[in-house]
Amino acid sequence: MKKQHNIDFSSDWNLGPAPESTANLKLKEKYDLYINGKFVAPKSGVYFDTINPANEEVLCQVARANAEDIDFAVKSARKAFNTSWSKLSGKERGKYMYRIARIIQERAREFAIVESLDGGKPIRESRDIDIPLAAAHFFYYAGWADKLEYAFPNRKPKALGVAGQIIPWNFPLLMASWKIAPALAAGNTVVIKSSKSTPLTLHLLAEVIHEAGLPAGVVNIISGNGETGSFIVEHPDVDKIAFTGSTEVGKIIMRSITGTHKKASMELGGKAANIIFEDAPLDQAVEGIINGIFFNQGHVCCAGSRLYVQESVFEKVLQKLKDRLQSLKIGDPLDKNTDIGAINSKDQLRDINKYIEIGLQEGAHIYQPDCKLPSKGFWCKPTLFTNVSQSNRITQEEIFGPVLAIQTFRTIEEVIEKANNSPYGLSAGVWTDKGSKIFNMTTKLKAGVVWANTFNKFDPASPFGGYKESGFGREGGVHGLGEYLKFD
Partner 1 sequence: MKKIDFLNTPRIDQVGVDDRIARITARSIKKEAKMQGLMMTLSMIDLTTLEGADTEDKVKQLCYKAHHLHDTIEGLPTTAAVCVYPNFVKLAVNELKGTGVKVAAVATAFPSGQSSAEVKLLDTKLAVDSGAHEVDMVISRGKFHSGEYNFVFDEIAMIKEACGKEVRLKVILETGEIGSLDKVRQASDIAMYAGADFIKTSTGKISPAATLPVTLVMLEAIRDYYYATGIMIGMKPAGGISNAKLALQYLLMVKETLGGKWLSNQYFRFGASSLANDVLMQIVKQKSGIYQSQDYFSKV
Distance of alpha carbon 231 from alpha carbon 229, whole angstroms: 5
Closest to 204 in 3D by CA, of 214, 196, 194: 194
Residue closer to partner 1 by CB (options 14, 443) is 14
Give the binding range for partner 1 (CB under 8 A) out of 3-11, 203-211, 381-389, 416-424: 3-11
* SS3 assignment, position 302: coil
Of the candidate residues 1, 11, 391, 436, the single one contacting partner 1 (CB under 8 A) = 11
Binding mask of the shown chain, residues 348 to 387, with x at each position contacting partner 1 by CB under 8 A: ----------------------------------------
284 binds partner 1 (CB under 8 A): yes
Query: If binding is defined by CB under 8 A, does position 15 make contact with partner 1?
Result: yes
The alpha-carbon radius of gyration of the chain (Å, integer) is: 23
- Minimum distance from CB of 285 to partner 1 (Å)? 8
Among 22, 86, 105, 453, binds partner 1 (CB under 8 A): 453
Cβ neighbours of 128 (radius 10 Å): 12
Q: List the one residue from 3, 26, 255, 372 that touches partner 1 (CB under 8 A).
A: 3
DSSP label of 171: S
Q: Assign 186 to helix, strand or coil.
A: coil
Question: Partners of 246 in the beta sheet?
Answer: none
CB of 428 to partner 1, least distance (A): 17
| Amino acid identity, position 90 | G
Output helix, strand, coil percentages for the chain, rounded to the nearest 5.
Answer: 40, 20, 40
- Least separation in angstroms between CB 337 and partner 1: 5
Question: Is residue 255 part of the contact set for partner 1 (CB under 8 A)?
Answer: no
CB 425, min distance to partner 1, A: 25
DSSP strand pairing (30-31 vs 57-63): parallel
Three-state secondary structure call for residue 244: strand
Q: Which is nearer to partner 1, 299 or 324 (CB)?
A: 324
Q: Which parts of 285-314 interact with partner 1 (CB under 8 A)?
A: 285, 287-288, 291
Residue 108 in the binding site for partner 1 (CB under 8 A): no
Out of 75, 124, 137, 193, the only residue in the binding site for partner 1 (CB under 8 A) is: 124
Q: What's the rounded Cα separation, in Å, for the pair 294 and 314?
A: 20
Tell which one of 71, 207, 279, 397 touches partner 1 (CB under 8 A). 279
Q: Who contacts 359 (Cβ-Cβ below 8 Å, separation ≥6)?
A: 366, 385, 388, 392, 393, 394, 403, 405
CB neighbour list of residue 369: distance below 8 Å, 6 or more residues apart: 322, 325, 326, 328, 381, 382
| 267 labelled catalytic | yes
Subset of residues 409 to 438 that bind partner 1, contact rule: CB under 8 A:
433
Please compute, for residue 262, the number of CA atoms within 13 A of its CA located in the half-sphere on the CB side: 26
How far, in Å, CA of 385 to CA of 399, rounded? 13
Q: Does 488 bind partner 1 (CB under 8 A)?
A: no
| Residue in 267, 398, 469, 483 annotated catalytic | 267
**Which lies closer to partner 1 via its Cβ, residue 246 or residue 337?**
337
Cα separation, 292 vs 79, whole angstroms: 43
Query: What are the beta bridge partners of residue 307?
Result: 274, 406
Q: Is 60 a catalytic residue?
A: no
Write down how long the chain is. 488
Catalytic residue among 20, 115, 125, 301: 301
Judged by CB under 8 A, does residue 232 bind partner 1? no
Residue from 95, 147, 158, 336 touching partner 1 (CB under 8 A): that is 336
207: contact with partner 1 by CB under 8 A = no
Per CB under 8 A, residues contacting partner 1 are: 3-5, 7-16, 18, 124, 128, 279-285, 287-288, 291, 316, 319, 327, 336-337, 433, 453-454
Which amino acids are annotated catalytic? 267, 301
